[in-house]
């Protein structure tokens, strides 16, 4: 088991102590498998950025990966983690097509620049996303509202504009387990995900989870 899988397993062990938290994990799993988390513009990119696997459908994931996915979604909903989409030149091709993917990343929307590791010999990530000035992104207040008075109306987050200093984030392309996304947020305070099928990189910033977030993040 890798370090990031051990992190997710530890989270799952903590969750298992509370039946209500276990139920919440599997409610999020149902939202994931039913497509409820899909966005009208981003499609499945948000869910796929939290974690995805070509080999296993979400309903067949190990329980600790399902827990890591739900935990990430909760961090976004609480405002501990915020994200913003960044347009690229297209959707990523297979891992083997690094030249093609690198070419698409050259069109990443400024002020962001994305570089792909062309060899990735044991590298911790597929590449890196950089930005040379302060950026602004929506961050959840931790509260929600219903868009209309219908009892089954869509629930949306209440957000505010947060900022983050010039920095960089590890870039993961294509499929990546939720546990790896969590590990990057823990280690680096940020992670960029460019999932299969998406023209957008989703940059996640850790504002309030763990000691590293407290030292790096700014409101």
Is the pTM higher than 0.75? The answer reads yes
Rounded alpha-carbon distances, angstroms, from residue 199 to 47, 74, 79, 113: 14, 25, 25, 15
Separation CA 81–CA 139 (nearest Å): 7
Q: Which of 145, 177, 173, 176 is nearest to 158 (CA)?
A: 145
Domains of the chain: total: 1
Contact criterion met (CB below 8 Å) for 203 and 129: yes
Smallest CA-to-CA distance from 130 within 176, 168, 85, 75 is with 168
- The residue among 106, 115, 71, 105 whose CA lies nearest residue 204 is 71
Residue 126 tokens, joined: 């597929």
* CA proximity to 47, closest of 56, 55, 61, 36: 36
Dist CA 125 CA 171 (whole Å): 6
Q: What are phi and psi of 62, to 5 degrees?
A: -60, 150
Provide the residue range defining the domain that includes 155: 3-216
Each residue's pLDDT tens digit in the chain (219 positions)? 899 999 999 999 999 999 999 999 999 999 999 999 998 899 999 999 999 999 999 999 999 999 999 999 999 999 999 999 999 999 999 988 999 999 999 999 999 999 999 886 557 899 999 999 999 999 999 887 666 555 555 667 789 999 999 999 999 999 999 999 999 999 999 999 999 999 999 999 999 887 666 555 443
> Smallest Cα–Cα separation from 113: which of 135, 98, 130?
130
Helical (H) or strand (E) element with 186 = helix 178-188
pLDDT tens-digit series, residues 165-195: 999 999 999 999 999 999 999 999 999 999 9
């Amino acid at each position: 088991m890798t370090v990031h899988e051990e992190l997710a397993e530890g989270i799952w062990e903590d969750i298992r102590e509370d039946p209500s938290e276990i139920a919440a994990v599997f409610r999020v799993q149902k939202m994931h498998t039913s497509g409820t988390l899909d966005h009208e513009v981003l499609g499945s990119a948000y869910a796929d950025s939290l974690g995805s696997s070509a080999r296993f459908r979400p309903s067949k994931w190990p329980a600790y990966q399902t827990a890591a996915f739900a935990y990430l979604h909760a961090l976004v909903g609480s405002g501990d983690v915020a994200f913003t989409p960044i347009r690229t030149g297209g959707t990523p091709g297979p891992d083997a097509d690094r030249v093609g993917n690198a070419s698409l990343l050259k069109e990443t929307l400024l002020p962001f620049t994305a570089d792909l590791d062309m060899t990735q010999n044991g590298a911790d990530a597929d590449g890196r996303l950089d930005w040379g000035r302060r950026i602004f992104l929506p961050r959840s207040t931790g509260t929600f509202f219903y868009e209309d008075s219908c009892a089954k109306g869509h629930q949306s987050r209440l957000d505010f504009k947060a900022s983050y200093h010039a920095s960089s984030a590890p870039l993961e392309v294509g499929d990546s387990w939720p546990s790896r996304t969590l590990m990057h947020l823990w280690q680096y305070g940020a992670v960029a995900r460019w999932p299969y099928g998406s023209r957008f990189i989703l940059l996640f910033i850790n504002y309030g989870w763990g000691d590293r977030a407290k030292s790096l993040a700014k409101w």
